[in-house]
Chain A
Amino acid sequence: MGRAAVVWLAAAAALLQGAGCATRPAAPAAAEPVRGVTPGKFVWHDLVTSAPGPCRRFYAELLGWQFEDTQRNGKPYAIAHLGDERVAGIVAKSASAAEKGSQWVGYVSVQDVDRTVAEAVKAGGRALVAPREIETIARAAVIADAEGAVLGLARIHRGDPPDEAGPREGRFFWMEYFARDPQAALSFYTGLLGYQSEVREELAGLAYHVLKSQRPRAGLLPVPQEGMRPAWLPYVMVQDPAALSARVESLGGTVLFAPRADVRKGTLAIVADPSGAPIALQKWPIS
């Protein structure tokens, strides 16, 4: 077994514990009382894409999402549903940015968006979208961290959705950060978001760090490939990653990593949607 595969098994162990951190980003009824804020918890995911139409079809066919056309701050915005639950959003990239690539952006909960952006800039990051009000929903911003990876910050005015008991099919439930310099990235994120980190396993020079805020929220590991830019990779729970990845190309996407028996027992696929945005499809539980 290769050392990378061993690290992935360590990651699986972390996921096993972290499964309880699955979020439920759907908006509750308006009458629901104000909830608490859990800094470090991922509370929403947006796909920022140059191809919203093909991506809608891709995710509808692959994950069963249905879309509601709406607007955010006067611009078109599609919200993905599973049943009556909102699971994600799709934003069309502006014409000036359309050629720069598409990606999923995870929004992490913070107490104070403005202060966190200022601290991120001080730590070597930069603001891609300055703090702003998202209608009456949240105050939010988008940053690039010190390695250039994109992350959303949000303070949802009604508080964060509660943690769930475990992952549910078709929903985001885990995040992984691929770092060029893991120690620097750890320093950045523990300082910025207050995470505690724990090395779950370290073998042959590769380590899997679990970032905790009350409970595991994300993993952090080195970029495994020369030339691969640091980025956050979102995980969606699926029942059959092999069957889904077999359909990806016919839906206009690309299989980046097909399930392999020696990596999490064949339960992981990493694919790119028609606009090139990577997303991980993870069967749960692993065994």
Chain B
Amino acid sequence: MRPLARALALLLVLLAAACQSSSAGMGMDFDSGGPGWNNFSGGKVFGAPL
């Protein structure tokens, strides 16, 4: 029984790991540009007296 119990425990661990590895995240690509903040001048924007 002990080897069987160990095998079952190992199987459960492997199953849990397999489930865990595929249970988060979307991973979708799409054809659209980024926000285009390359010229973001934060210092001028957020701190300057307006």
Q: Give A102 Cβ to nearest chain B Cβ, in Å.
A: 5
Which of A146-154, A165-173, A187-195 touches B?
Answer: A146-154
A257 to B48, CA, bound (A): 12
Among B20, B21, B35, B41, the residue within 8 A (CB) of A29 is: B20
Residues 12-36 of chain B: 1 if any A CB is under 8 Å from the residue's CB, otherwise 0?
Answer: 0001100111111111111111111
Contacts A204-B50, A263-B47; A100 near B33 (Cβ below 8 A):
yes
Among B21, B24, B27, B31, the residue within 8 A (CB) of A96 is: B31
Q: Give A268 Cβ to nearest chain B Cβ, in Å.
A: 8
Check A91–B22 contact: CB distance below 8 A: no
Check A46–B27 contact: CB distance below 8 A: yes
Check B28–A72 contact: CB distance below 8 A: yes
| Contact residues in B for A3 (Cβ distance below 8 Å) | 49-50
Among B16, B20, B35, B39, the residue within 8 A (CB) of A101 is: B35
Check B47–A27 contact: CB distance below 8 A: no
| Contact residues in A for B45 (Cβ distance below 8 Å) | 4, 224-225, 257
Q: Is A184 an interface residue (CB 8 A)?
A: no
Check B26–A152 contact: CB distance below 8 A: yes
Chain B minimum-CB-distance residue to A73: B27
| Contact residues in A for B22 (Cβ distance below 8 Å) | 70, 135-137
A4 to B32, CA, bound (A): 30
Check A44–B25 contact: CB distance below 8 A: yes
Q: Is B3 an interface residue (CB 8 A)?
A: no
Which of A54-62, A116-124, A211-219, A227-235 touches B?
Answer: A227-235
A70 to B42, CA, bound (A): 36
Check A262–B35 contact: CB distance below 8 A: no
Among A26, A231, A260, the residue within 8 A (CB) of B43 is: A260
Contacts A5-B47, A44-B24, A278-B40; A100 near B35 (Cβ below 8 A):
no
Among B30, B42, B44, the residue within 8 A (CB) of A97 is: B30
| Contact residues in A for B43 (Cβ distance below 8 Å) | 257-258, 260
| Contact residues in B for A8 (Cβ distance below 8 Å) | 46
**Beyond the given A101-B35, A231-B34, could you list 11 further A-B residue pairs with CB under 8 A, ordered by the A residue number?**
A5-B46, A29-B16, A73-B27, A75-B29, A100-B33, A100-B34, A134-B26, A137-B26, A158-B23, A262-B47, A272-B37
The residues of B with any CB-CB pair to A shorter than 8 Å are 15-16, 19-50
Q: List 28 A-B contacts (CB under 8 A).
A: A27-B24, A29-B16, A29-B19, A46-B25, A46-B26, A48-B28, A70-B22, A70-B25, A75-B27, A79-B24, A86-B24, A86-B25, A97-B29, A103-B35, A134-B27, A134-B28, A138-B26, A140-B28, A142-B28, A150-B32, A152-B26, A204-B50, A224-B46, A225-B45, A227-B39, A229-B37, A231-B34, A254-B38
